[in-house]
Amino acid sequence: MFQSFKTYKLLFLRLIIIVAAIEVSIYFFKKDLLFTAIFGLFIVFLLLREMFFYVRNFVLIYNKTIASILQNDFSSDFSKHKLNDNYADLFHLYESLKAKENEQISKDIVYRSILNNIETGIIILQKQDNDWNIFLMNDYFSTHFNVPKVSKWKYLKNQLPTLCEIIEQDDFQEIKTAIEISINEQNNQTFVLQASRTEIFELDYFIVLLDSIQNVVEKKEKEAWVNLMKVISHELLNSITPIRSICQNLQDLVEQDSLSDEDLEDVKNSVETMLKRSDHLQKFVEGYRKLAMLPSPKKEKIDLQHLIDNCIQIMNPLFKEKNIEVVNNITFKRFIHVDSQQIEQVLINLLTNSFHAVKDNLQKQIFISAEAKENRIFIKISDNGNGIEKEIENKIFLPFFTTRPEGAGIGLTLSKNIIEAHGGYISHKNEDGKTVFEISLIEN
């Protein structure tokens, strides 16, 4: 702002000098001082010429700088003009925008590098007028599906018609499904398709993610194996370490010439401890066998209400002992095609978990409900206990994971395996401060 005022001031001074020079020249003409008057007019001409080039350079530099900013072209070099105070504000704006543009370019390079190194096919579409153009396609998508990095949606349709048809059928809205795509004229491969739509600065974008089912399964299997090995190594070390220490102590005792009564007592305690740890290891292995050798379900048609009542009756002595109220909200009559013994075991496992969750509460309540929709039965078992801590939410279905000292840690894992063997699923969530386990089964 200060530099702009200074520029205007200089222009104004030039005009005053030129006007004054013209007045002086006219005065000399009136006094018949012809040569002096002509010399004065020559000075006026030089001043006008200087002002013309000053204004022209000033306008040219401003135009060039503004054009560079508008076109995002920051390659121009204005170093020879930077010492001129008249352009200080302009060049400060230019340098600030140039720094921001370079920062944005650096971020774009980093983001694109990250996207190109992800082993998931990614394309981002941008809507322009009524057409979709390809804003970004990562290297994995291009390489894996053998698609050149085209810029138009219509070109992509020629390469991957199956994918594009599904997206168009849903009118470029949110999608989450499985899709089979033939690659290089080979057998179809199954992929997980996830797509979402978002608007940024009034620009419409559509993001598509394609991940191979095999990759998804391998990741899940790897995670499962890592978690399982952690649990197994933890259990084995918890038993082997004290047993080895006790054996070392016993070896020292038996190498003595004689054993005192105190030594004999130590031997007796050591043997008892080894037996306890051996029993724990045996239970651990038996639990693993239960999970690994789960028999196929022998399905039969059974009344859901009868199955629930039977489970409540089995657990009733424990509930009465702790004054636990069980609220059964199932009122409709439905039949399900299941292995009654296995599903009964699942329900008892969940009721047992609820029992332990509420047994120390002042008000102890367990709720059972069910609903039928989309050819499925959804059974919910909830309680007013403290709920599952966020830190362990993703571990509760892991084999041998338990928060109870007396627990074996296979109840929920076994329940999950049984429900999945029936073609259903089991999940947990928090609703209004209550922990809810939900079982989904196909209705008969």
- What DSSP designation does 297 have? P
DSSP codes, 302-367: EEHHHHHHHHHHHHHHHHHHTT-EEEE---S--EEEE-HHHHHHHHHHHHHHHHHHHTTSSS-EEE
Tell me the pLDDT band of 359, cut-offs 50, 70 and 90: confident
Q: Are 162 and 228 members of one domain? A: no
Note whether 283 and 408 are within 8 A (CB).
yes
Rounded CA gap, 118 and 22, in Å?
Answer: 75
Q: What is the dihedral angle through the alpha carbons of 178, 182, 186, 191, rounded to the nearest 10 degrees? A: -30
**Structural domain contains residue 111:** no
Q: 103-107, 288-292, 305-309, 388-392: lowest mean pLDDT where?
A: 288-292
Angle, vertex CA 348, rays to CA 342 and CA 352, nearest 5: 150
The C-alpha atoms of residue 127 and residue 39 are separated, in whole angstroms, by: 68
* CB 78 within 8 Å of CB 94: yes
Average pLDDT, integer, range 292-305: 78
Tell me what the mean pLDDT of segment 256-285 comes to.
70
Q: What is the CATH number of the domain that holds 201?
A: 3.30.450.20
* Average pLDDT of every residue of the chain: 77
Give the amino acid at 292: A
Give pLDDT, residue 2. 41
Q: Residue 112 domain-assigned?
A: no
Give 308 or 72, the one with higher predicted confidence. Answer: 308
pLDDT at 402: 63
The helix or strand, by DSSP H or E, that contains position 101, with its residue range, turns out to be: helix 88-116
pLDDT at 401: 58
**Residues with Cβ < 8 Å from 394, sequence gap 6 or more?**
none
pLDDT of residue 62: 74
311 plus 426 within the same structural domain:
yes
| DSSP type of residue 104 | H
Specify the pLDDT at position 360: 76
State the total domains in the chain: 4
CA 152, CA 218: separation in Å to the nearest integer? 34
Helix (H, G, I), strand (E, B) or coil at 129: coil
Q: Does 404 map to a domain?
A: yes
Kindly state the average pLDDT of the residues 298-314: 86
Joined tokens for residue 120 = 């998931």
Domain match, 311 and 435 both: yes
Residue 388 lies in a domain: yes
* Shared-domain flag, residues 221 and 209: no
Kind of pairing between the strands at 335-338 and 300-303: antiparallel
Output the pLDDT for position 265: 76
Look at residues 68, 103, 138 and tell me which one is the last residue of a structural domain: 103
pLDDT for res 224: 64
Inter-residue contact 312 to 354 (CB < 8 Å): no
Specify whether 207 is located in the same domain as 223.
no
Q: Is residue 109 part of a domain?
A: no
- pLDDT computed for residue 289 by the predictor: 59
Say which CATH number the domain at 349 has: 3.30.565.10
Looking at the structure, do residues 209 and 266 belong to the same domain, yes or no?
A: no
400 near 232, Cβ under 8 Å? yes
pLDDT at 3 over 60: no
Q: Are strands 376-383 and 434-442 parallel, antiparallel or unpaired?
A: antiparallel
Residue 208 lies in a domain: yes
User: Residue 324 above 80 pLDDT?
Assistant: yes
Count the residues in the chain.
444
Q: Is residue 113 part of a domain?
A: no
Domain boundary at 260, 292, 324, which?
Answer: 292
DSSP element (H, E) containing 222: helix 213-254
Assign 177 a pLDDT band (cuts: 50, 70, 90). confident
Does 108 fall in a domain? no
Residue 322 tokens, joined: 């702790």
Token match 């002042």: residue?
362
Sorted by sequence, the CB contacts under 8 Å of residue 381 that are 6+ apart come out as: 347, 350, 351, 354, 366, 367, 368, 436, 437, 439
Note whether 336 and 432 are same-domain residues. yes
| Residue at which a domain ends, from 292, 310, 345 | 292
Beta-sheet pairing, 335-338 with 325-328 = unpaired
| pLDDT band at residue 1 under the 50/70/90 scheme | very low
Across the range 91-102, mean pLDDT stands at: 76
Single out the residue of 299, 286, 284 nearest to residue 421, CA to CA. Answer: 299
Contact 322, 361 (CB under 8 A): no
Report pLDDT for 283. 63
State which residues form the domain around 427: 300-442
Q: Which DSSP symbol is given to 380?
A: E
Q: pLDDT over 90 for what percent of the chain?
A: 0
Instruction: Print burial letters for 154-165: b (CB count within 10 Å at least 16), e (below 16).
Output: eebeeebeebbe
- String of DSSP letters for 416-429: HHHHHHTT-EEEEE
